[in-house]
């Protein structure tokens, strides 16, 4: 793949931001942030989480200078920590990327249902885990994934321009809504004030928001998966990743504060409010504001889909190059696209449409551990290589500590971000599948090596 005709600086930033900001940014204020933590605790929790992820990102900046091929965390772990750790990292990270892509695709059907409630609920198929599966929703999801797949098969420049357009639309609308909010907000109503004050600070509530940080900011690492294809320096790409994390923090808080300015915590918890953020925007801008919010939401969902299909296909490409996955995934088209990897990611995502959103959410909750493992092993790589490449190991230590905290939060039942018993079951099943796949590939490579050795021996006679 050619670096000279790749992703621009704006494209790099757009991919990272689009992967970070998804459906949840527009839903969490009314579902999680305000009812569970309020404005101040959410701000503090997200701020601390942002700093933790920025410290982890510093390790990515070190590693991409050492190994600047596609593959990111998988490649770092394999080259530095060995084949087994590399496989473990790639196996869980590819699931995290594809699951997040699938979740965004399923969210797109909910977005359409907001305008046309019964349009996609045609031809009931079955129910899984209490979620009804309709043929209309499945087909719509498959079509949306197909469109993203087509965009990514054309060339990286086209996909990058598409991502810039989506992320630009998202940011522009959020800034417009902020300006209208600042202009129209009436402090005399004191609704927002019910959330403010030092007496509202609660450490347990702050920790409950910090627990969501890996989920909230997952996506900044998509940049290193495409390190062969961006046109800027690695140091610039790292700064853009940090900027996307900061931008995500700002957008989360803008939407949270706007929602809090209309509804008290009691109103959200006790009231029959379907979409608190949507109602808040409608309060300030009426139906036009709601339409704009739907457009921003649609842009964020599509940008997330595009960002994660880019990242996952490049990760699969790297795993193919390193003989971990079938070599056919490493095939490059005339447009310098790993077309088989892109098609595979799209196919798997289409199949998840038949599982229903509830199951996809369970997979995402479990797969988020894959993102945390990637954080941990990338930090460990820096720690191991610090003397060889004269790297300061301070951020490596921080990265391993923070990643361990995130892992504990995901795995401990009493934690606010606990993946659940079903998540544990899925984790075990995916781990067992990976174990047998790794053993099969190892035996296959060993037999090939023995066959080549035998052939060379026979030729020597």
Query: Nearest Cα to 95, choosing from 372, 293, 291, 385?
Result: 372
Strand intervals (E) in 99-232: 124-128, 131-134
pLDDT level of residue 460 (50, 70, 90 thresholds)? low
**Residue ranges of the alpha helices (H) in 185-275?**
203-210, 213-217, 222-225, 234-260, 265-270
Helix (H, G, I), strand (E, B) or coil at 7: strand
- Measure the CA–CA gap between 65 and 236, rounded to whole angstroms: 11
Q: What is the pLDDT of residue 48?
A: 96
Tell which wins on pLDDT, 23 or 442.
23
- Measure the CA–CA gap between 229 and 399, rounded to whole angstroms: 26
Structure tokens at 395: 């951020």
Is residue 190's pLDDT more than 70? no
Q: Is 294 left (phi over 0), alpha (psi -120 to 50) or beta?
A: alpha
Q: What is the pLDDT of residue 446?
A: 57
Q: Are 386 and 417 in contact (CB under 8 A)?
A: no
Residue recorded with tokens 């997330």 = 304
**Cα distances (angstroms) measured from residue 150 to each of 106, 155, 308, 350, 431:** 18, 10, 14, 14, 32
pLDDT level of residue 439 (50, 70, 90 thresholds)? confident
CA 317 to centroid of chain Cα atoms: 19
Structural domain boundaries in the chain: 3-372, 420-461
Domain with residues 3-372, CATH architecture: Up-down Bundle (1.20)
- Measure the CA–CA gap between 131 and 133, rounded to whole angstroms: 6
Residue recorded with tokens 């359409």 = 112
Task: Supply the pTM of this predicted model.
Answer: 0.90
pLDDT level of residue 381 (50, 70, 90 thresholds)? very high
Number of other CB atoms surrounding residue 92 within 10 Å: 25
Give mean pLDDT, residues 254-267: 88
Is residue 62's pLDDT more than 60? yes
Q: Are 424 and 432 in contact (CB under 8 A)?
A: no
Q: What is the pLDDT of residue 200?
A: 77
- Helix or strand run (H / E) with residue 145: helix 135-154
Q: Are 61 and 236 in contact (CB under 8 A)?
A: no
Is residue 4's pLDDT more than 60? no
- pLDDT-above-70 percentage for the chain: 93
Which residues lie below 8 Å from residue 389, measured CB to CB, with a gap of 6+?
Answer: 62, 66
Which residues lie below 8 Å from residue 286, measured CB to CB, with a gap of 6+?
Answer: none
Q: What is the pLDDT of residue 455?
A: 52
Q: Is 232 left (phi over 0), alpha (psi -120 to 50) or beta?
A: beta
Q: What is the pLDDT of residue 60?
A: 95
Highest mean pLDDT among 63-72, 120-129, 146-155: 146-155
Q: Are 157 and 12 in contact (CB under 8 A)?
A: no
pLDDT level of residue 160 (50, 70, 90 thresholds)? very high
pLDDT level of residue 144 (50, 70, 90 thresholds)? very high
- pLDDT-above-90 percentage for the chain: 49
Query: Nearest Cα to 114, choosing from 360, 267, 350, 301?
Result: 301
Query: Nearest Cα to 121, choosing from 102, 137, 144, 109?
Result: 137
- Measure the CA–CA gap between 32 and 35, rounded to whole angstroms: 6
Q: CA gyration radius for the chain?
A: 23
Q: What is the pLDDT of residue 53?
A: 96
Average pLDDT, the chain: 87
DSSP state of 30: I
């Amino acid at each position: 793949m050619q670096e000279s005709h790749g992703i621009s600086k704006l494209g790099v930033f757009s991919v990272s931001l689009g992967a970070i900001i998804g459906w949840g940014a527009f839903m969490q204020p009314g579902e999680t942030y305000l009812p569970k933590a309020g404005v101040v605790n959410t701000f503090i929790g997200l701020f601390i989480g942002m700093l933790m992820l920025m410290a982890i990102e510093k390790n990515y900046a070190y590693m991409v200078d050492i190994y600047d091929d596609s593959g990111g965390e998988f490649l770092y772990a394999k080259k530095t920590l060995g084949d087994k750790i590399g496989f473990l990292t790639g196996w869980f990270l590819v699931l995290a990327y594809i699951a997040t892509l699938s979740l965004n695709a399923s969210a797109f059907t909910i977005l359409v249902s907001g305008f046309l409630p019964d349009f996609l609920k045609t031809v009931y198929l079955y129910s899984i885990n209490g979620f009804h599966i309709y043929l209309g929703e499945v087909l719509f999801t498959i079509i949306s994934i197909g469109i993203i797949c087509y965009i990514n098969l054309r060339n990286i420049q086209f996909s990058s321009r598409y991502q810039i357009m989506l992320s630009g639309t998202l940011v522009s609308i959020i800034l417009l809504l902020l300006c209208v909010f600042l202009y129209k907000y009436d402090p005399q109503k004191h609704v927002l004030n019910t959330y403010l004050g030092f007496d509202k600070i609660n450490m347990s509530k702050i920790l409950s928001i910090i627990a969501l940080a890996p989920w909230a900011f997952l996506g900044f690492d998509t940049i290193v998966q495409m390190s062969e294809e961006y046109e800027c320096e690695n140091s610039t790409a790292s700064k853009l990743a940090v900027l996307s994390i900061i931008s995500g923090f700002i957008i989360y808080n803008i939407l949270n504060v706007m929602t809090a300015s209309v509804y008290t915590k009691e109103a959200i918890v006790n009231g029959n409010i379907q979409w608190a953020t949507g109602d808040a925007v409608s309060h300030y801008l009426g139906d036009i504001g709601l339409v704009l919010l739907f457009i921003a939401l649609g842009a964020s969902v599509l940008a997330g889909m595009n960002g994660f299909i880019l990242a996952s296909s490049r990760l699969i490409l790297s795993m193919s190059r390193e003989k971990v996955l079938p070599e056919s995934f490493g095939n490059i088209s005339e447009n310098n696209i790993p077309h088989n990897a892109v098609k595979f990611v799209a196919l798997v995502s289409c199949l998840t449409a038949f599982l229903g959103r509830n199951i996809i959410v369970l997979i995402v909750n479990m797969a988020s551990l894959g993102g945390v493992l990637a954080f941990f092993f990338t930090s460990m790589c820096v720690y191991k290589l610090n003397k060889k490449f004269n790297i300061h190991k301070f951020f490596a230590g921080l990265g391993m500590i923070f990643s361990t905290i995130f892992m504990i939060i995901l795995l401990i039942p009493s934690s606010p971000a606990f993946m659940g018993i079903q998540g544990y079951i899925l984790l075990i099943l995916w781990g067992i599948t990976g174990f047998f796949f790794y053993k099969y590939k190892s035996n296959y490579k060993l037999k090939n090596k023995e066959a080549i050795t035998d052939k060379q021996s026979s030729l020597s006679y």
